Amino acid sequence: MTREPVIETARLILREWDDADRAPFAVMSSDAEVMRHFPATLNRAESDAMIDRITHSIATEGFGFWALERKDDEAFLGFTGLQTVRVESPIEDDVEIGWRLATPYWGRGYAREAAEASLAWMWSNLDRPRVVSMTIADNAPSWGLMLRLGMERARHLDFEHPALAPGDRCRRHVVYVKDRPL
């Protein structure tokens, strides 16, 4: 099934979500390795609800975490994109870049390729002074990609996620920032 791309790279298509994405996203969201740096895996209802929130964001803001598809075989890889931070924190209302891919697609450069394309889209389409990204401190693969994207650690913006209980291993978030290129 050919879907209309929002962003296209040499190997990837970032696009709006459709119902065919729900099953592979649910599998990905229930994978303990994929969700290792999140509070918990998601069941099917939670996974579907996340897609619903993402698609609502795309519909209302014109951007969000787009479904990520490989061009050559239309495989669903996960998501990459941009969203407005809606968490009470020092980065509330900033635009966040984020990604989550299924384990078979790790280590192939897909997240970086899609993230670089998302940043290019942002600088061309949104009048924002910076982009942010957040994760927990032990998520080295994620903050490693943030560094490869040219983002810098912004310790003064680190925060305790208000939706997570004190003592939760995922409560402390570290923040990386990239200013708009001149």
For residues 165 and 100, what is the distance between their CA atoms, to the nearest angstrom?
23
Question: Does the domain formed by 5-179 have CATH 3.90.1210.10?
Answer: no
Percent of the chain with pLDDT over 90: 96
Model confidence pLDDT, tens digit, residues 18-27: 999 999 999 9
How do the domains of the chain map onto residue ranges? 5-179
Tokens 């600088």 locate to 123
- Backbone phi, psi, residue 94, to 5°: -75, 165
User: Measured between alpha carbons, how far is 93 from 83 in angstroms, rounded to an integer?
Assistant: 9
Give the span between the Cα atoms of 134 and 57, in whole angstroms.
18
Q: b/e per residue, 4-18, with b = 16+ CB within 10 A?
A: eebbebeebbbbbbe
| pLDDT tops 80 at residue 3 | no
Share of the chain above pLDDT 70, in %: 98
pLDDT digits (tens, 9 = 90+) for 124-180: 999 999 999 999 999 999 999 999 999 999 999 999 999 999 999 999 999 999 999
pTM over 0.75: yes
